Amino acid sequence: MSMLLPIAKNNACQPPRMLDLLPALVNRHGCITGATGTGKTVTLQVIAEALSGIGVPVFMADVKGDLSGMAKAGSMSEKMRGRLDVLGVEAPLWSACPVTFWDVFGEAGHPVRATISDLGPLLLARMLNLNDTQEGVLQLVFKIADDNGLLLLDTKDLRSMLQHVGDNAADFRTTYGNISAASIGAIQRGLVAVEQQGGDRFFGEPMLNIDDLLQTDAQGKGIVNILAADKLMNAPRLYAVFLLWLLSELFENLPEVGDLDKPKLVFFFDEAHLLFSEAPKPLLQKIEQVVRLIRSKGVGVFFITQNPLDIPDTVLGQLGNRVQHALRAYTPRDQKAVKAAAETFRPNPALDTAQVITELELGEALVSFLDEKGRPNMVERAYILPPVSQIGPIDLAERQRAMAQSVVAGVYEQGVDRESAHELLAARAAAAQQADTRAPRARTPAGGARTQAPESVPDTSLGGMLGGLFGGGNGKRQSPVEAMVKSAARSIGSQVGREIVRGVLGSILKRR
């Protein structure tokens, strides 16, 4: 089996030559960038097909629905014939890829879930759009749940836990710090917004097993895992957090393997700008750490976005394999973006990279892959090869047939709701209410006669003694001064308070 993955062909050089992606260096990550409608999706499809063909599973988000066509073999058309003539290559062997469809909402693919506890307060705060103070309170809620053995599995668990902490904030203040009602309310409102977008179906069990993404079929081809994201994109924060959580799960659960001949999984992050837009600094640091270290776990990550400047420099500097489709420079701002994008490539003396970026045709790109020693090759202008699977979506019947034949068919369809924080807190509240109803109450004698009032007991409290000094305990109407003294005394219960009363009111009592 060849370990060179042909992705594009440069016809400008003599003789024309293929531009190959080296599987051993795919874990050095990469990016596919370009304006809308320039061919990024087809480039993604070609790279994913090549990886699947050598037994490497891939995971990708299908934002527009077009990638579902990878489950069906391609075919010849007039447009395809014209592209093959331009490239000077023969028609490929049309074939489909083994595909597993996933969907957070469980409609266009197998359900994919995570628990609230596994997502953690950092990513959940990002999803709920919380500020630093509210995120701190959310972390305290998680800590209190952990300390009390309360599992947070789904949204109703978190909602019950928020209500419990809010109702008992005074009891938790000494151990955990101040918990404001305003922050609890903000978290609850954010949770309601996520639930209205359908995000509550993402939280629960059974949780996704990462090993199910690392499968191959009977012919040794890597499974292409496609997340149906066209509906998920209506909740962009949920989309970004879900993919980042999945990437973090791979990082935390896969063992260290070092450099392999080919990666264990390649992760394609489409619409990558959503991941970094308005992300707080701690989250950006986490992303940078994951991208930097996950290559030793045998995982490669490709970011797909319009402009490489959408990706922070700390992450962009780690992306070795790059494909740049056309960018449009209609405004001064766009022209600066084109220049900056050109500067991210290793220069080629034969190309004016900034000029070429604006001249690229559909399906044409500037390509720079890593060489055998891990160095970026000089950027070249080339045509992306056509995919061997169908370009464009499949119909609903074909999708359902692929789901029925999937290796995980029937594993995740039925949700599980086991005992967790919601059920335990509800049981505690019911037990407390039952105990209150069983508490003894004063009975009225038969016939409705009132019992005789008990003998009066001298009031030894500070207010009572002060009232006695003013004659307030003998049933006479209190004077204004007496009322003031007794009110002040009742409102002060500490030793320091009693000393203040003695200091302020000492002269009045002395005269009395």
- Is pLDDT above 70 for 445? no
**pLDDT higher for 265 or 456?**
265
* Amino acid code (one letter) for 438: R
Q: Which of 11-15, 44-48, 167-171 has the lowest mean pLDDT?
A: 11-15
Instruction: Give the dihedral sign, CA 277/279/281/282.
Output: negative
**Locate tokens 């000494």: which residue?**
174
pLDDT (tens digit, 9 = 90+) per residue, 98-142? 999 999 999 999 999 999 999 999 999 999 999 999 999 999 999
**Locate tokens 């369809």: which residue?**
413
Q: What is the pLDDT of residue 331?
A: 86
User: What does pTM read for this prediction?
Assistant: 0.82
Q: What is the pLDDT of residue 5?
A: 94
Catalogue the E-assigned strands of 84-192. 99-103, 110-111
Contact predicate 402/103, CB 8 Å: no
Q: What is the pLDDT of residue 455?
A: 47
Average pLDDT of span 330-347: 88
Q: What is the pLDDT of residue 254?
A: 94
Question: Cα(400)–Cα(421) distance, rounded to whole angstroms?
Answer: 36
Question: Cα(157)–Cα(172) distance, rounded to whole angstroms?
Answer: 19
Q: What is the pLDDT of residue 459?
A: 53
Q: What is the pLDDT of residue 335?
A: 87
- Is pLDDT above 90 for 20? yes
CA 371 from chain centre, in angstroms, equals 34
pLDDT (tens digit, 9 = 90+) per residue, 159-195? 999 999 999 999 999 999 999 999 999 999 999 999 9
Hey, which residues does 183 pair with through a beta bridge? none
Q: What is the pLDDT of residue 487?
A: 52
Give the percent of the chain with pLDDT over 70. 85
Question: Cα(161)–Cα(429) distance, rounded to whole angstroms?
Answer: 12
Average pLDDT of span 354-365: 93
Token pair for 136: 């701190």
Question: Cα(190)–Cα(221) distance, rounded to whole angstroms?
Answer: 42
CB atoms within 10 A of CB 149: 8
Question: Cα(440)–Cα(173) distance, rounded to whole angstroms?
Answer: 32
- Is pLDDT above 80 for 478? no
- Is pLDDT above 90 for 307? no
Average pLDDT of span 32-53: 95
pLDDT (tens digit, 9 = 90+) per residue, 386-428? 999 999 999 999 999 999 999 899 999 999 999 999 999 999 9
Collapsing DSSP to helix, strand or coil, 60 comes out as: strand
